[in-house]
Amino acid sequence: MERVRISIVGASGYVGGELLRLLLRHPYVEIAQVTSESHAGEPVHRVHPHLRKATGLTFCRMADLKPCDVLFIALPHGQVAPRIEAFAALAPVLVDLSADFRLRRPEDYARWYGHPHPHPEWLSRFVYGLPERYRAELRGARAISGVGCNATAAILALWPLVQADLLDPERPVIVDIQAASSEAGREPNPGSHHPERHGAIRPYAPVQHRHTAEVRQALGREGVVLSLTAVDAVRGVLAIAHAWPRDRIAEPELWRIYRAAYGEEPFIRLVKDRQGVHRLPDPKAVVGSNFADVGFAVEEETGRIVALCALDNLMKGAAGSAVQSLNIAMGWPETTGLDLIPVYPA
Amino acid sequence: MERVRISIVGASGYVGGELLRLLLRHPYVEIAQVTSESHAGEPVHRVHPHLRKATGLTFCRMADLKPCDVLFIALPHGQVAPRIEAFAALAPVLVDLSADFRLRRPEDYARWYGHPHPHPEWLSRFVYGLPERYRAELRGARAISGVGCNATAAILALWPLVQADLLDPERPVIVDIQAASSEAGREPNPGSHHPERHGAIRPYAPVQHRHTAEVRQALGREGVVLSLTAVDAVRGVLAIAHAWPRDRIAEPELWRIYRAAYGEEPFIRLVKDRQGVHRLPDPKAVVGSNFADVGFAVEEETGRIVALCALDNLMKGAAGSAVQSLNIAMGWPETTGLDLIPVYPA
Amino acid sequence: MERVRISIVGASGYVGGELLRLLLRHPYVEIAQVTSESHAGEPVHRVHPHLRKATGLTFCRMADLKPCDVLFIALPHGQVAPRIEAFAALAPVLVDLSADFRLRRPEDYARWYGHPHPHPEWLSRFVYGLPERYRAELRGARAISGVGCNATAAILALWPLVQADLLDPERPVIVDIQAASSEAGREPNPGSHHPERHGAIRPYAPVQHRHTAEVRQALGREGVVLSLTAVDAVRGVLAIAHAWPRDRIAEPELWRIYRAAYGEEPFIRLVKDRQGVHRLPDPKAVVGSNFADVGFAVEEETGRIVALCALDNLMKGAAGSAVQSLNIAMGWPETTGLDLIPVYPA
Amino acid sequence: MERVRISIVGASGYVGGELLRLLLRHPYVEIAQVTSESHAGEPVHRVHPHLRKATGLTFCRMADLKPCDVLFIALPHGQVAPRIEAFAALAPVLVDLSADFRLRRPEDYARWYGHPHPHPEWLSRFVYGLPERYRAELRGARAISGVGCNATAAILALWPLVQADLLDPERPVIVDIQAASSEAGREPNPGSHHPERHGAIRPYAPVQHRHTAEVRQALGREGVVLSLTAVDAVRGVLAIAHAWPRDRIAEPELWRIYRAAYGEEPFIRLVKDRQGVHRLPDPKAVVGSNFADVGFAVEEETGRIVALCALDNLMKGAAGSAVQSLNIAMGWPETTGLDLIPVYPA
């Protein structure tokens, strides 16, 4: 079989590095070009030290891109939408990992991103690249939007409860999210400076986090709010969702519901043991892999359900889900190139 | 003025080490004896490397304790209550940092600790050592219980809202707590092993955390639930409380309420800036000090109030509040020995 | 081709977990049995959270081991030698990752381990499993000893200089080694307790480190001393070797020497750029992979050569080199199952 | 006694924040002005979150400085020398924490900093602010240069050996230094970005580190070379010096030498126990304090002496030594304002 030719726009960021880690070992593809405006002409390993000896590629400029089969776009938010027609002219299949095409309704985009979408007609052409939620739509898709890492953790924790229509519609679900530092990308900023971030437990967006929109869209439910805190880890997101059921529910019934929802999923692991250090999801156990660990607990006294999801923000929360979605879109076995076992402990 | 003679039982743990750090510099006290069953006969600095050259004390056994003016007890939970009569015979003033005398009602103790209290008659003699809540009762107190570090963060975040009777009584407050590793004490366990804990974002008690009882007691409100997660820091607790008001409330009004509650407090800092890395409470900014940083945010869309509190679990969450309470009980200036500026960055 | 059946003794430690991560994806092998005395009867993922869904294996006891094709032994030091005959009866090929069979001369073992070797006749049957040094001997080997992680870093940094006979025989090479916490294994100890190890820069063995013996043996040179410091990372070793040449040598000549030694090595990357964050070896850039990054610098003023090597102590420093050695011994392509790209940043 | 009025130039950096932490609690001084060009007009706590409630000061511009009694200068290297006359016109006593006036000989400055010193006549007016080495010269000094943090660790480790003339003059001392991230100051850079620095063990300057010049000057010995590595901690430096004696020396003799050199020093602690986690110096045990922990080991086989020193780079390595030097210069008790016990664990 001839390999599909893939180019990556904006390949010098962390998501770009992670896409390369996956696609350089993917048996059905080959990397044609990788772009970086600030590193054009430099070997990829100058920026991505892990890729030394794994690739001899050199960054080129976006202007030098040639047509290819699949174009991955890993540019910062807001830089894709204005160029979408140009990107579409380069490849029949687009996978955009920015936030520009995650929302379906132009009014949602305008509300959460503070300005009208420059190409609203494209919003409905994209499929949200979360196979556990949109697998059917991803088959044969030609435009796939990447997922928000925090949103993915929240959605995967809650989807079985929503799908089973278990939750009290009157009471909002509150999702506390704890996130690692690679989430904010490669660009240094005062908050990412090591002396400031090391050991921090820093409320970042206790209200009005933008990923709220993706979560509500995927769950089909307005009553969800997020709260984001930054902690001292490089990879990982943990979502802790506090939800109130219509009626008291016991843990065995929740087991049934989560198993029904995720039992066949190749990358979801149900983690809920009675004891042990690893009895509930912890992003540390999925580092470097495409697994999302999902678990739950019920507070007998109050009925509160706590639904948890831990994932690697650069994998299941970005590059991993994107490749998984591409596999589905192209009709390849869904786990191709993604059957990596987490690196533990790391 | 003659110095008050203080002995510390169980001084080889982290809280014991922190008490020594404070009391060795406290102008009105002197340390008489410090006990450790496993390190009896050893110099204190063998166990507490920071105290080298700060003290020449040597650990003795509990059985060797002599009468003193004030007895601090820093034993593990459950080891104080059975011996309370013996301790009371040693000193007219007791400060117990375990959880054994934090709850007022025997039935609460039985419910949360799983067995009847061995000396329930002592429960009402103790004052909960949180000056911001029980200052009046602490004056002249002869039995002071230490505070739970997580509970303190939750109480300090929420007390102004409860005091002002702002919250919807029908909707439980959910408090997400992120905690550092020194909270669990000095004894190694599989979860505290560095390769396992480093970089972890680990749900520890998403439901039914014991500190819930203290929080409810201090707030006088049943509708509060906690969720505890362990993160990669050594010192620090962050409480993020999600609360729903009776009626929509605007931030200026919350400012007024928090200022009214805490404006005169020597150790509470209101942290709520419009921008900047340090715009909200982060335990990193209080390391080594007795400060509790308190802040809040309101979600305009939903009305949700997020109240936050960051503190150093060994200081304001343990030794610091205990010394502050003793200062009040003895009639000394409340900040004596506690006016330490945080160490930042650390 | 029929898969080779491999069993792992002592599979519940970190090296055991890493062997499983590799061997579960190795195309020529299958895992027959894994033993753990303390976890017998439990599923592997209870201990190794990363292996959940990657294997359904359950630990058995050593006493339940059946004959297999290759036996990996990942027991603590000192526990293998007394049982070597029993292990040898189980499988025609042994790979022992303990330190018990790393030294060739019984007198060296006695000197560095403080007691005579219980089966000295076996010492010469083992090949030291470092392909970059002993590839020829590993072909067809039937007893392979694992490498010391610190020793490997020191050897790989220095071997080209020694091989080229560049170093002044009169002046000892001093190797400063900085090591991560997983090196000490899974068993918690007071020094591995998170509050104690987090942020530590702790001299562990400034003199007389046991790995000195392996380094001297592999380099064929007595004049090497080690100094080991523990730092705050989970995976990784950095060796910084300070060496004095017979005659001044310029960097281009060193380039030639290192390229000659390692140019064909599949897992060694020469890292020496003029600028950039990643201009010299850093274990962070090899996490989860079998790469060893090697670099050097020359101090013009003094002639001092600094040779550096960074590797992942659980991979190139343990499980990775062991699998690579097995591949060679069995006649398989050397990189089989090991072509993992590092996880970066992590 | 009237308080001495101190102003701080460049007070928004980490050293500035640490000076404020010390001087705001110093009984003989008051802070007059603090400057920051980029934060002029902002309250100090906006930049230094730990100082909230500890001071109501606001940053002003350098141009607004008024005369004062003592001027502390905490500007980046290279920014002080050109302005030295202007600073000298503002205050009769100068304490400069940059590297601009640390070297006595203009030719040394030119060699290590790559350009001639703009005011070489000032070099000999400054006293190097390390009391353990230059106490006599500091008495009554009117110009004090701050110390290099790495240099201080190296000097304090080695000074007793040099003073006793124990070392082989033919064999260079090699000092491996492991340093925390606050050393590089507040300005973010690609290497200080949290995802890049977290968990790193990164060779920074294996040869030709600039602090070499200070070390040689203080030890009066050319034969010393440094090697600097960056590790994952915020505060702390560990120097591991490998030295060769003229004649074999036993540990008891070294004990005598170190005790003779440092027995009366208020801020040096000799740390050398037979066992225990804290048996040798570790910067973790001095965080937030002015202590330098010094220890040593002898390798019986080779005679190698390892001398170690751990300190807090912002304290003994910068602000603490500067305040200690000022205390001496002004004739105040040397430990005034500096008797802080380390924060441990942190």
The per-residue pLDDT for D212 is 96
- A250 touches D: beta carbon within 8 Å: no
On whether the CB atoms of residues C251 and C257 are closer than 8 A, the answer is no
Find the helix packing angle between A131-138 and A320-330, rounded to 10°: 30
The per-residue pLDDT for D277 is 94
CA angle A203-A208-A212, nearest 5°? 105
Q: Max CA-CA distance within chain C?
A: 62
Phi, psi of B292 (to 5 degrees): -115, 125
Which tokens in the block code for residue A5?
A: 């030719």
The per-residue pLDDT for B216 is 98
On whether the CB atoms of residues B296 and B236 are closer than 8 A, the answer is no
The per-residue pLDDT for C203 is 97
In angstroms, the CA D236 to CA D285 distance is 9
DSSP assignment of D203-242: EEESS--THHHHHHHHHT-S-EEEEEEE-S-SS-EEEEEE
Q: Of the residues A60, A68, A149, A309, which is catalytic?
A: A149
Count H helices and E strands in chain B, helices first.
10, 13
DSSP 8-class letter at D86: H
DSSP 8-class letter at D160: H
In angstroms, the CA A42 to CA A56 distance is 10
Q: What length is written for chain A?
A: 346
In chain A, which residues have their Cβ closer than 8 Å to the Cβ of B310? 201
Which ranges in C49-175 belong to alpha helices (H)?
84-90, 106-113, 131-138, 149-163
Instruction: Flag if B341 and D276 touch (Cβ within 8 Å).
Output: no
Phi, psi of D58 (to 5 degrees): -125, 140
Instruction: Please name the residue that has the structure tokens 């007198």.
Output: C107
Closest to D317 in 3D by CA, of D238, D242, D240, D205 = D238
In chain A, which residues have their Cβ closer than 8 Å to the Cβ of B233? 199-201, 231-232
Share in percent of chain C as helix, strand, coil (round to 5): 35, 20, 45
Residue B48: strand, helix, or coil: coil
In angstroms, the CA A19 to CA A71 distance is 12
Instruction: Please name the residue that has the structure tokens 């809650």.
Output: A158
Residue B312: strand, helix, or coil: coil
The per-residue pLDDT for D252 is 97
pLDDT digit string (tens) for chain C, length 346 residues: 699 999 999 999 999 999 999 999 999 999 999 999 999 999 999 999 999 999 999 999 999 999 999 999 999 999 999 999 999 999 999 999 999 999 999 999 999 999 999 999 999 999 999 999 999 999 999 999 999 999 999 999 999 999 999 999 999 999 999 999 999 999 999 999 999 999 999 999 999 999 999 999 999 999 999 999 999 999 999 999 999 999 999 999 999 999 999 999 999 999 999 989 999 999 999 999 999 999 999 999 999 999 999 999 999 999 999 999 999 999 999 999 999 999 999 9
Q: Max CA-CA distance within chain B?
A: 62
Q: Which amino acid is at A123?
A: L
CA angle C197-C198-C204, nearest 5°? 35
Note the pLDDT tens digit of each residue in B215-225.
999 999 999 99
Note the pLDDT tens digit of each residue in B281-301.
999 999 999 999 999 999 999
CA angle A208-A210-A213, nearest 5°? 100
In angstroms, the CA B207 to CA A186 distance is 36
DSSP 8-class letter at C16: H
Percent of chain A with pLDDT over 90: 99
List, as ranges, residues 9-48 from D with C-beta within 8 Å of B.
14, 17, 21, 24-25, 46, 48
In angstroms, the CA A162 to CA A203 distance is 27
Residue A112: strand, helix, or coil: helix
Instruction: Flag if D17 and B278 touch (Cβ within 8 Å).
Output: no
In angstroms, the CA B61 to CA B43 distance is 13
Note the pLDDT tens digit of each residue in A72-103.
999 999 999 999 999 999 999 999 999 999 99
Omega before B345 within 30 of 0, i.e. cis = yes
Nearest CB to B342; choose among D50, D271, D276: D50
In angstroms, the CA B337 to CA B96 distance is 19
Across the range A163-178, mean pLDDT stands at 97
List, as ranges, residues 161-190 from A with C-beta within 8 Å of D.
181-182, 186, 188-190
- B197 touches D: beta carbon within 8 Å: no
Active site residue C149: yes
Sequence-separated (6 or more) residues with CB below 8 Å from residue D104: D123, D124, D128, D217
Residue A106: strand, helix, or coil: helix
Closest to B158 in 3D by CA, of B144, B143, B140, B177 = B177
Instruction: Flag if B344 and D52 touch (Cβ within 8 Å).
Output: no
Q: How far is CA B292 from the centre of its chain?
A: 10
Residue D313: strand, helix, or coil: coil
Instruction: Flag if C50 and A343 touch (Cβ within 8 Å).
Output: yes
In this structure, how many other beta carbons lie within 10 angstroms of the beta carbon of residue D325?
26
In angstroms, the CA A64 to CA A34 distance is 10
In angstroms, the CA C239 to CA C294 distance is 9
Across the range D35-61, mean pLDDT stands at 97
The per-residue pLDDT for C32 is 98
Q: How far is CA A330 from the centre of its chain?
A: 19
Count H helices and E strands in chain C, helices first.
10, 13
User: Is the ipTM of this structure higher than 0.85?
Assistant: yes
* Neighbour subunits, B (≥3 Cβ pairs < 8 A): A, C, D
Which tokens in the block code for residue A183?
A: 């989430």
Parallel, antiparallel, or unpaired: how do β-strands D292-298 and D268-270 relate?
parallel
Domains of chain C: 4-125 (3.40.50.720), 149-312 (3.30.360.10)
Instruction: Flag if A176 and B227 touch (Cβ within 8 Å).
Output: yes
In terms of Cβ atoms closer than 10 Å to its own Cβ (0-12, 13-18, 19+), residue A16 is buried
Which tokens in the block code for residue B4?
A: 């008050």
- What average pLDDT does chain A have? 97
Is A1 a residue whose pLDDT tops 90? no
DSSP assignment of A6-75: EEEESTTSHHHHHHHHHHTT-TTEEEEEEB-TTTTTSBHHHH-GGGTTT---B-B-GGG----SEEEE-P
Q: How far is CA B120 from the centre of its chain?
A: 22
Across the range A2-24, mean pLDDT stands at 98
In chain C, which residues have their Cβ closer than 8 Å to the Cβ of D181? none
Omega before B188 within 30 of 0, i.e. cis = no
On whether the CB atoms of residues D292 and D286 are closer than 8 A, the answer is yes
Closest to B26 in 3D by CA, of B340, B343, B345, B298 = B340
Omega before C106 within 30 of 0, i.e. cis = no
Q: Which residues of chain B have pLDDT under 70?
A: 1
On whether the CB atoms of residues A144 and A322 are closer than 8 A, the answer is yes
Instruction: Flag if D181 and A195 touch (Cβ within 8 Å).
Output: yes
Q: Which amino acid is at A5?
A: R
Residue D240 to chain C, least CA–CA distance (Å):
8
In angstroms, the CA D281 to CA D296 distance is 9
In angstroms, the CA D343 to CA D312 distance is 11
Q: Which amino acid is at B121?
A: E
Is A165 a residue whose pLDDT tops 80? yes
Find the helix packing angle between C211-219 and C106-113, rounded to 10°: 150
| pLDDT classification of A133: cutoffs 50, 70, 90 | very high
Q: What is the dihedral of CA D144, D145, D150, D154, to 10 degrees?
A: -50
In angstroms, the CA A310 to CA A154 distance is 9
Percent of chain D with pLDDT over 90: 99
